[in-house]
């Protein structure tokens, strides 16, 4: 069995051109014109590979290669193709297009699966449109209720249902959820988004655990006024309260005692946004993660307490929202061992890793046994236009994925 890396790299390059920004930047926000075109591109590849296609009501795409025992739970793989603004061309895409090529390679080798093998393209792994990541996999796992999903609203005031209608999707969101053990296993191929594999010159990372993510939204209302006419002692500046909060997040993450705590204030918007006007409104979105649930939750509590103290002292009105607070996922030991064994059979170096970024696998773990296959990325860089994994690295990842799917499908 061989991976056609020339074709796979060409497809990665072609998909990267479907973007809201000119190359090398990739921007594909959920249900934008670029995202819808990208979905059509991927569906065409799946059709050309002879896979059976379906969409669910949330826009998750499923492409199935039917096995001999269609009554058995299928083996699944996949990832996402949406991209945050000003991103690169490998995040998520390697798992989707690499998954298609893994299936094509197995077909070319005349392999016949016992269990069906299904590729999933997840809706909105990135939180760009609604401030909530992994929308599709949350709905598949039943982590997000139909009521809460229906209330999701983009910055322009449009609800999720309006975006789904725009994309031509039909059906009720409560039909999206999959039953426990709907799949026998889920294996996601992905770039590492970290420096370990490259630094240690290791080809494959086998993921044992995925960090616990959380997202906060902090909305601050102060009092605006003229920058020259309002004296300093009486000011209630929303930006300054927000700046103090952002620094408090950094301090909280640095002082947990856990080496894996990371805190990021990734969104900070102010109004009215004029140089001669005191900011009256500020909105912050904060990402906090840790592999330790205890450390993550203690840090969340510390941040909330500090935010309330800052707002009281500065006389700022506060709306504090917990957009998501999710537990970590422990990967299936047997699947981890299978991937490691495949690497040994292919003479490919490998190392067990923890994923500090979260992925759709985090929520697929609620449905079935999971693991992830990481490949190196240059400098550990991701979510930037200079994100890069070499064709040789991608080829090894797709080969390991193909052999793993083959072995698990025969179990």
Residue 89: cis peptide before it, omega within 30 degrees of 0: no
Cα(283)–Cα(159) distance, rounded to whole angstroms?
A: 20
pLDDT for 17 equals 98
pLDDT for 400 equals 98
What 3-state class would DSSP assign to 200?
helix
Q: What is the per-residue DSSP string for 16-75?
A: HTSSSS-TT-EEE-TTSHHHHHHHHHHHHHHHHTTPEEEE-TT--EEEEE--S-TTSPEE
pLDDT cut 90: percent of the chain above it: 97
Cα(217)–Cα(75) distance, rounded to whole angstroms?
A: 37
Going by pLDDT thresholds of 50, 70 and 90, the confidence category of residue 63 is: very high
Cα(375)–Cα(91) distance, rounded to whole angstroms?
A: 11
Cα(259)–Cα(263) distance, rounded to whole angstroms?
A: 12
pLDDT cut 70: percent of the chain above it: 100
Neighbours of 384 (CB within 10 A): 16
Cα(404)–Cα(151) distance, rounded to whole angstroms?
A: 39
| pLDDT tens digits along 343-383 | 999 999 999 999 999 999 999 999 999 999 999 999 999 99
* DSSP bridge pairs for 183: 74
Region 77-106: what's the mean pLDDT? Answer: 98
CB 369 within 8 A of CB 184: yes
Residue 242: cis peptide before it, omega within 30 degrees of 0: no
Q: Which of 334, 346, 103 is nearest to 203 (CA)?
A: 346
Average pLDDT, the chain: 97
Neighbours of 57 (CB within 10 A): 18
Cα(98)–Cα(383) distance, rounded to whole angstroms?
A: 19
Reply yes or no on whether the pLDDT at 124 is more than 90.
yes
Reply yes or no on whether the pLDDT at 291 is more than 90.
no
| pLDDT tens digits along 254-273 | 999 999 999 999 999 999 99
Reply yes or no on whether the pLDDT at 310 is more than 90.
yes
pLDDT for 212 equals 87
| pLDDT tens digits along 135-167 | 999 999 999 999 999 999 999 999 999 999 999
Give the end-to-end CA distance of the chain in Å, rounded to a whole number: 19
HSE of 167, CA atoms in CB hemisphere, 13 A: 29
Neighbours of 40 (CB within 10 A): 9
404: tokens are: 């793993």
Reply yes or no on whether the pLDDT at 220 is more than 90.
yes
| pLDDT tens digits along 22-38 | 999 999 999 999 999 99
Cα(143)–Cα(283) distance, rounded to whole angstroms?
A: 26
CB-count burial class (<10 Å; 0-12, 13-18, 19+) for 325: middle
* DSSP bridge pairs for 223: 236
pLDDT for 410 equals 97
Q: Which of 330, 312, 335, 333 is nearest to 400 (CA)?
A: 335
CB-count burial class (<10 Å; 0-12, 13-18, 19+) for 346: middle
Cα(411)–Cα(409) distance, rounded to whole angstroms?
A: 6
Q: Going by C-beta distance under 8 Å and a sequence separation of 6 or more, which residues neighbour residue 305?
A: none
| Residue indicated by tokens 């047997």 | 334
Reply yes or no on whether the pLDDT at 105 is more than 90.
yes
The gap from C-alpha 25 to its chain's centroid, in whole angstroms, comes to: 18
Region 169-197: what's the mean pLDDT? Answer: 97
CB-count burial class (<10 Å; 0-12, 13-18, 19+) for 393: buried
| pLDDT tens digits along 398-409 | 999 999 999 999
What 3-state class would DSSP assign to 375?
strand
Cα(386)–Cα(206) distance, rounded to whole angstroms?
A: 24
Cα(89)–Cα(82) distance, rounded to whole angstroms?
A: 10
Q: Residue 225, by phi and psi: left (phi above 0), alpha (psi -120 to 50) or beta? A: left
In this structure, what is the dihedral angle of CA atoms 325, 331, 332, 336, given to the nearest 10 degrees?
A: 170
Reply yes or no on whether the pLDDT at 193 is more than 90.
yes
């Amino acid at each position: 069995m061989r991976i056609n890396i020339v074709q796979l790299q060409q497809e990665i390059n072609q998909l990267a051109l479907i973007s809201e920004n000119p190359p090398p930047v990739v921007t594909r926000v959920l249900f934008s014109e670029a995202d819808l075109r990208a979905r059509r591109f991927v569906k065409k590849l799946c059709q050309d590979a002879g896979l059976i296609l379906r969409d669910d009501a949330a826009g998750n795409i499923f492409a199935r290669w039917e096995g001999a025992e269609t009554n058995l739970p299928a083996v699944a793989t996949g990832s996402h193709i949406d991209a945050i603004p000003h991103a690169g061309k490998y995040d998520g895409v390697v798992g989707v297009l690499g998954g298609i090529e893994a299936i094509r390679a197995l077909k070319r080798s005349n392999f016949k699966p016992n269990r069906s093998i299904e590729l999933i393209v997840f809706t909105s792994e990135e939180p760009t449109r609604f401030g909530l990541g992994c929308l599709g996999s949350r709905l598949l796992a039943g982590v997000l209720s139909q009521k809460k999903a229906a209330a999701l609203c983009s910055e322009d005031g449009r609800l999720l249902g309006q975006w789904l209608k725009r994309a031509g999707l039909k059906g009720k969101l409560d039909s999206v959820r999959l039953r426990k053990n709907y799949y026998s296993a889920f294996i996601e191929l992905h770039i590492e988004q970290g420096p370990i594999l490259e630094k240690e010159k290791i080809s494959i990372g086998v993921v044992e655990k995925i960090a616990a993510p959380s997202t906060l939204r902090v909305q601050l209302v102060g009092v605006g006024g003229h920058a020259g006419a309002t004296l300093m002692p009486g000011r209630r500046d929303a930006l300054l309260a927000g700046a103090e909060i952002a620094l408090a997040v950094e301090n909280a993450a640095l002082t947990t005692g856990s080496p894996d705590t990371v805190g990021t204030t990734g969104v900070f918007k102010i109004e009215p946004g004029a140089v001669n006007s005191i900011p009256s409104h500020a909105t912050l979105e904060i990402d906090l993660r840790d592999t330790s649930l205890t450390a993550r939750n203690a840090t969340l509590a510390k941040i909330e307490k500090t935010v309330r103290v800052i707002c009281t002292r500065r006389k700022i009105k506060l709306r504090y929202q917990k957009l998501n607070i999710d537990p970590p996922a422990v990967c299936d030991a047997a699947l981890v061992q299978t991937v490691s064994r495949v690497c040994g059979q292919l003479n490919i170096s490998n190392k067990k890793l923890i994923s500090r970024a979260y992925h759709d696998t985090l929520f697929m773990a609620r449905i079935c046994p999971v693991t992830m296959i990481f490949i190196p990325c240059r400098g550990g860089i991701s979510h930037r236009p200079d994100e890069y994994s070499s064709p040789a690295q991608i080829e090894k990842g797709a080969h390991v994925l193909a052999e793993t799917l083959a072995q698990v499908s025969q179990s």
